[in-house]
Structure 1
Amino acid sequence: MTRSRWLVPALSVLFVPLWASGFIAGKIATGHLEVPAVLLWRFVIALAVMLAAAAVLRPALPVGRAWLHLAVTALLLQVGQFSFVYSGLASGVPAGLSSLILGMAPLLVGLLTPLLLATRLGPAPVIGLLIGATGVYVVLADDLGGGLGWSVVFPVLGMLALTAGTLYQKRFNDRTPVVTSVVVQMATSLVATLAVFPFLGVAWLPPTPGGWLAVVWLGVINSAGAFVLMFLLLRWRSTVYVSSLLNLVPATTALTAVPVLGEPLTAQAVLGLAIALVGMFVGLGRFPGRWGRDRPGRDAEPVPAGAAVPPP
């Protein structure tokens, strides 16, 4: 229990900027090469990193239908989500607006969790998720009227894929070692991308150093790193806990886009970040009084990433 008191908060603090960086790096990457090539190199690099980790940790292999469940999760959480998100970024959807739309996924995950995963929710997480959703809306509300047309559909579809993949990961893959889970998902995603790549007629290699830097960041930091953290937090806490953290991503993306992408900083971004922080505070059960005793996801002692997880 002592270990989880510092480990989970530390990983939570690290998770938000790593996840948010995917929108920034994705916007840069899609400015240098086509979406299929971005996906291809993301999965190649992430798979190489995770295979190296697997060689050291030697985690247990999936058993039986776990292989199929991991493949389904990969198609939803990896191929589906990022194909749509990168297509939107390449079509001109701002990184901040993409993160705002993807920020709606935590609300759907939190509301669907009791129906699909038989998890009891008290008032705190529901109210916290609603406050967080309000915060991410405030951050970039003006962009919703920016005349982007049908391009906005891409991040909406990505948000639905993220919601489905998060729930599926929690429901069917929670007992698979984290490193094994990420390796199989990246391998599945790479195979799916390679299967269609020859028919798309796009260049394979990033043409500039900036393109290489962006795809390396997506593969190592945002893909391998962020998803390992996500799966660990899903295992050690709950979908609501992870959803509350994801509420902070749109505001973090908006603030990061100021120095990196040159997007202007507005009072709305600061206000939205503050509201999202309150939503996370309430959603994680840190609100004083009776709600504070309704904390979701009081989980057992963390399990090492390479170890098999016992039944709940």
Structure 2
Amino acid sequence: MTSSRWLVPVLAVLFVPLWASGFIAGKIATGSTDVPAVLFWRFVIALVVMLAAVAVLRPGLPRGRSWLHLAVTALLLQVGQFTFVYSGLASGVPAGLSSLILGMAPLLVGLLTPLLLATRLGVGPVLGLLIGATGVYVVLADDLGAGLGGNLVFPVLGMLSLAAGTLYQKRFNDSTPVVTSVVVQMATSLVATLVAWPFLGADWLPRAPSGWAAVAFLGVVNSAGAFVLMFVLLRRRSTVFVSSLLNLVPATTALVAVPVLGEPLTVQAVLGLGIALVGMFVGLGRVPGLRGRRVVADAAVAAPSGQPDGDAVAPAAGGPGRRAGGA
């Protein structure tokens, strides 16, 4: 009972730096490796790691349309998001600025959740998402006028893919075993990359040791590790819970970029992290005055999984909600 109670907080603490590390490693990888090669090796390495996990855990296979839903999620959450993000990084968009733009996805996910997942949001979650978005903006506001021009469209498209993939994963894949979900998505993404490769004219291999190290990190830590954590958190909590955690990623990326990429530590990064933390606590109902108006989670839609969700659940068409445990 005690270990179960602490599982989600521990996973949440691990999730934020693992997700943020993808921007740092992605910036390093695209400095010496073509974008298609970064994607290819990321998916290959992640698939090998997850197949080893399958051999040990022996999870169940998807059924019926679950295969199609997993493939669609892969195209959105894996191929779409990272093709656009890495293209932006390769064209000169800073890692921190990419993280800032991707940090708008939580607000979009939170606002679309009531429409697409048959749930309703209280005052606390909406206010928390808005506060978190403010923190995201503060982190790197000065970089918005850096003259990057049309290259900013890449992280914007990546943000839209992340938001769409997060909602699709929660709506259609919540009952699929997490390991199975990641394996099918990585395999689908690898096939999609190989199909597109003849039209891209890219080199197959990284051109520097740092490129190999970065793609290995992306495959093992950021693909296999971070996405397993994401899917577990989506299953045990709501999309708003995961979105609140994603609000912390831009400031975390900016802080990690100081020792790794040599970027200076700014007041905006520290201030933005503080604001994002406030938004996360407000959105998750940790503020006493808003505790009674917490998010109504989307577990009702994912009922076949049988997994508990950490927020109150309300039927899509009236009826009293039920509470399934603390956040």
TM-score, length-normalised on structure 1? 0.95
Does structure 1 residue 214 correspond to structure 2 residue 210? no
Distance 1:118 1:299, change over 3 A: closer
Q: Give, in angstroms, the shift of residue 311 of structure 1.
A: 8.1
Q: Which runs of 5+ in 1 are unaligned?
A: 301-307
Contact 1:236-1:299 at 8 Å conserved across structures? no
**AA of the residue aligned to 1:235:** R
Match of 1:296 in 2: 295
Question: AA paired with 1:281?
Answer: F
Please give the alpha-carbon distance, in whole angstroms, between the structure 2 residues aligned to 1:96 and 1:224: 22
Q: How big is each residue's C-alpha offset from its partner over 1:282-305, in whole Å with a ceiling of 9 and x where there is no partner?
A: 01110013x1133336799xxxxx
Match of 1:60 in 2: 60
**Percent identity over the alignment?**
83
Kindly indicate whether the alpha-carbon contact (under 8 Å) linking 1:19 and 1:226 is maintained by their aligned counterparts in 2. yes
Count how many residue pairs are aligned between Structure 1 and Structure 2: 304
Higher mean Cα deviation, 1-10 or 260-269? 1-10
* Residues in 2 aligned to 1:124 and 1:181: alpha-carbon distance in whole angstroms: 31
Match of 1:76 in 2: 76
Q: Over residues 55-110 of structure 1, what are the superposed CA-to-partner deviations in whole Å (9 max), with x where a residue is unaligned?
A: 11000000000000000000000000000000000000000000000000000000
CA 11–299 in structure 1, closer or farther in 2 if over 3 Å, else same: farther
AA aligned to 2:291 is: G
Q: Which residue of 2 aligns with 1:98?
A: 98
- The answer to whether the Cα contact below 8 Å between 1:42 and 1:216 also exists between their aligned partners in 2 is yes
Alignment partner, residue 310 of structure 1: 306
Q: Are the equivalent residues in 1 in contact too, given 2:118–2:298 (CA < 8 A)?
A: no
Which deviates the most, 40-49 or 203-212?
A: 203-212
**In 2, distance between residues paired with 1:41 and 1:151?**
24
What amino acid sits opposite 1:296 in the alignment?
V
1:102-117 correspondence to structure 2 within 5 Å = 102-117=102-117
* Deviation (angstroms), 1:200: 1.9
1:226 and 2:226 correspond: yes
Amino acid at match of 1:309: S
Which deviates more from structure 2 when the two are superposed, residues 264-273 or residues 243-252?
A: 264-273
Residue aligning to 1:304: none
**Would the aligned equivalents of 2:21 and 2:253 in 1 still touch at CA under 8 Å?**
yes
Distance (whole Å) between structure 2 residues aligned to residue 5 and residue 281 of structure 1: 18
Once the two structures are TM-superposed, the CA of residue 310 in structure 1 deviates from its matched residue by 3.4
What is the match of residue 320 of structure 2?
none
Q: Indicate conservation of the 8 Å contact 1:241/1:296, yes or no.
A: no
CA positional deviation for 1:39: 0.2
1: CA distance between counterparts of 2:187 and 2:169? 16
Contact 1:237 1:297 in 2 (8 A): no
- State how far apart, in whole Å, the 2-side matches of 1:231 and 1:225 are: 10
> Aligned residue for 1:203?
203
1:264 and 2:236 are equivalent in the alignment: no
| Contact 2:121/2:296 (8 A) holds in 1 | no
CA offset digits 1:226-277 (Å, max 9, x no partner) = 0000000000000000000000000000011111111111111111110001
Aligned partners of 1:81 and 1:161 also within 8 Å: yes
Instruction: Please say if residues 241 and 297 of structure 1, whose CA atoms lie closer than 8 Å, have aligned partners that are also in contact.
Output: no
C-alpha deviation, 1:3, in angstroms: 3.3
Q: CA deviation at 1:111?
A: 0.2
Rounded Cα–Cα distance in structure 2 between residues aligned with 1:5 and 1:97: 35
Q: What are the ranges of 5 or more consecutive residues in structure 2 without an aligned counterpart?
A: 309-327
Counterpart Cα distance in 2 of 1:158 and 1:255: 22
Question: 192-201 vs 87-96, which deviates more?
Answer: 192-201
Separation in structure 2 between the aligned mates of residue 156 and residue 293 of structure 1, nearest angstrom: 35
What is the CA distance between 1:220 and its match in structure 2?
A: 0.3
Instruction: Kindly provide the amino acid, as one letter, of the partner of residue 57 in structure 2.
Output: L
Say if 1:247 and 1:276, in contact at 8 Å, map to a contact too.
yes
Contact 1:46–1:223 (CA<8 Å) still a contact in 2? Answer: yes
Structure 2 partner of 1:305? none
Report matched runs for 1:57-206 at 5 Å. Answer: 57-206=57-206
Structure having greater relative contact order (Cα 8 Å, sep ≥ 6) = 1
Secondary structure of the 1:175 match is coil
1:207 CA drift (Å): 2.1
| Structure 1 range deviating more: 195-204 or 80-89 | 195-204
Residues in 2 aligned to 1:199 and 1:273: alpha-carbon distance in whole angstroms: 41
* CA displacement, residues 148-172 of structure 1 (integer Å, 9 cap, x when unaligned): 0000000000000001000000000
Q: Which residue of 1 aligns with 2:37?
A: 37
Alpha-carbon separation, structure 2, partners of 1:11 and 1:143: 31
Name the CA distance, whole Å, in 1 between partners of 2:105 and 2:196.
28
